Amino acid sequence: MREIIFDTETTGLDPRAGHRLVEIGCIELIDRRESGRTFHAYFHPERDMPAEAEAVHGLSIQFLSDKPLFAAKVDDLLEFLGDAPMVAHNAAFDFGFVNAELARAGRPALDMTRMCCTVQMARKLHPGAKHSLDALCTRYGIDRSHRVKHGALLDAELLAHLYIEMTGGRQIGLGLAAQAGGPQRAAVAAAPRPAEPARPFREPRPHAASAAELARHSEFVAALNQPLWHDSP
C-alpha cells in the first residue's frame, strides 16, 4: 500500500486572505515503511513574509526570492503524489493551501477523500490529551531534539514515525531508524533489551509415580461409581 505523508509551511493561516504556500515536504510510505523517496520544494510566495510566520518556520522573503513559483513545480508534485492517500497533521489546513495553489495554477483540486488527519486520529486515541506534533512525539518516544523550527520535510519525517506508531504498524526500531547521511532524519532507535541474569543449572527431577502411589490410584479407581469410561459408545 502506498501512502504520502506531507507537511506545508505558509505565509499565514488562511489562503482566502491571500496567504501562500512557501514549502512542502512529502515522504513516501510503502506498506507502512519509508521507501526512501521524498519530494521537497520551496516556493516564492509572490508577497511579503509576515514576521509571525517567519518566526515559526524561519523562511524569510530574502531566502525565498530566488525560489520557483508553485506553478513551475506543480507537475513534479502531482507526479509524486499520484493517487495515494495523503496523511497530514491538521490535514484540512494543508489540503486547503495545496488546493488553493492548484487552483491558481489551473489544476484540479485534490480529492478530500484522500485526506487522513493525524490530529483527528489522536483525538480518538487520546481524548483530552495534547495533540500537537511535539506532544505526540513525546508520547510515542520519537526523538525531536533536532527540531528547532518548523520545516516541511522534517515535520513530515516526524509525522511518518508518528503515523506508523498510531496505526499500530511496525515498531519504530525495526523500520524507521535514522538513516546514515541524513541530517534531518529522526534519530529513533529501539531500546536494547537488558541482559537476563545467569541461572544455576538444576538436574532434572524424576516424575514417575512410586509403587505406593500406583496402588492408591488403583484403589481409588476401583471405588468409583459408574465412571464415564465404562459407558457404551
Known catalytic residues are 150
Q: How far apart are CA 21 and CA 177, in angstroms?
A: 30
Helix locations, the chain, DSSP H: 51-57, 61-64, 70-81, 91-104, 118-125, 133-139, 152-166, 172-175, 211-222
Residues paired with residue 26 on neighbouring β-strands, in sequence order: 6, 39
Q: 159 with 88: CB under 8 angstroms?
A: yes
- C-alpha cell, 153: 520535510
CA distance 127 to 102: 34
